[in-house]
Amino acid sequence: MTTSAQALFESLSTWQSIEDLVSTGEAESQLLECKAPHSPILDKGFKAQLGTILSGFANAGGGVVVFGVSTSNKLHSGLDVLAQIEPIAECTKFAQRIDRILATLTTPVVPCPPVRVLKKSSKDSKGVAVLLVPGTSGDPVQSIDDKRICIRVGAEFVDMPYPMIKRMFAGSEAPDIAPIFDDRLVTRESNGAWRVPLILGNSASRAGRDIDVTVTVENPDACSSIIAQHLADISDINPGEKTFSAHQDRPLHRGFNVVIGALVFEMKKGVRAKRVVTLAITVYCSGMRARRWRMRVQLAKKGFSVKKLLDEYLY
């Protein structure tokens, strides 16, 4: 199910869409925050501010941050109205820097997709960056820098009232197990094959127990070989599929990620060969609703990248 924050993020996919926000007099809101940094360098103050934004939006169901748009406060309404686009220099590098530091700004980590870069022309180095902050389904998110647990109220980030924090902790009765791909652990072997570790993490206070995972390669024809390490090949009992499974015996606690196995992909060679693998990953855990993801994994000479295509509960 698409959230309001996801819908807003998807609507901001072109330079024109940002210009439309400004020209129509859009204001900051429950879902929208705008920042116009003077420099693409992420200093200590910027990181602290971003930690507050991540905490506030995640605890309020999600939101979108647009970097490169300034606002003007209107006295008669009190609204911060989008004033003008102020493109960020070296915007692609700016977005990459944000992607790299996001995991260091809050606890638990907010699983944001890659920052989207929008430019007026493909030749421009300046541009606007758009960040989607998804809502948390587990414990309240806290900013690491100032230890604040914030929430978005209207167009402001405020400290979350204690009774609300208490309810969120009490309501987080289920584990929140999800797959993680860490490009620092992905390696390329001497024969050109890619070794991709499969990691599980838990973002809830309740430990995950009796965890089963299935991984299906939806387009095995793109590979000349697929080797599973520490994963059981269950393709024979799932006709027409290339499916692997793993079982996690030990409890999985928040902040203690585990590698359950790895897949080694040797991609087919060819002038127009698409070095892309699509994975369907399903996690079953005691006390948690079964959940499924579809991931698009790019395995190219320029490097490794992952895009989430689907995130849904099975029932």
pLDDT digits (tens, 9 = 90+) for 266-284: 988 875 557 899 999 999 9
Task: Say what the pLDDT of residue 169 is.
Answer: 63
**Type and span of the H or E element at 59:** helix 44-59
Query: So what's the pLDDT on residue 172?
Result: 54
What is the mean predicted confidence (pLDDT) over 127-131?
97
Burial class of residue 100 in the structure, from the number of CB atoms within 10 Å of its CB (0-12 exposed, 13-18 middle, 19+ buried): exposed
CB 231 within 8 A of CB 242: no
Largest CA-CA distance found in the chain, in angstroms, rounded: 69
Nearest by Cα to 202 from 151, 158, 270, 136: 136
Range of the domain at 14: 4-171
166 plus 63 within the same structural domain: yes
Looking up residue 303, the CATH number of its domain turns out to be 2.60.40.10
- Point out the domain boundary residue: 171, 201, 233: 171
Helices (H) and strands (E) in the chain, counts: 5, 21
Q: pLDDT digits over 179-230, tens only?
A: 999 988 999 988 889 999 999 999 887 899 999 999 999 999 999 999 999 9
* 17 and 165 assigned to the same domain: yes
Q: What is the CATH number of the domain that holds 153?
A: 3.30.950.30
Q: Which residue has the tokens 């790299």?
A: 100
* Residue 90 burial (10 A CB sphere; 0-12, 13-18, 19+): middle
Give pLDDT tens digits for 139-168.
789 999 999 999 999 999 999 987 777 666
Average the pLDDT over 229-235 and give the result. Answer: 95
pTM: 0.60
7-30 average pLDDT score:
96
- Please tell me the predicted confidence (pLDDT) of residue 1: 67
Of 137, 171, 205, which residue sits at a domain end? Answer: 171
| Total domain count, the chain | 2
- How far out from the chain centre does Cα 79 lie? 29
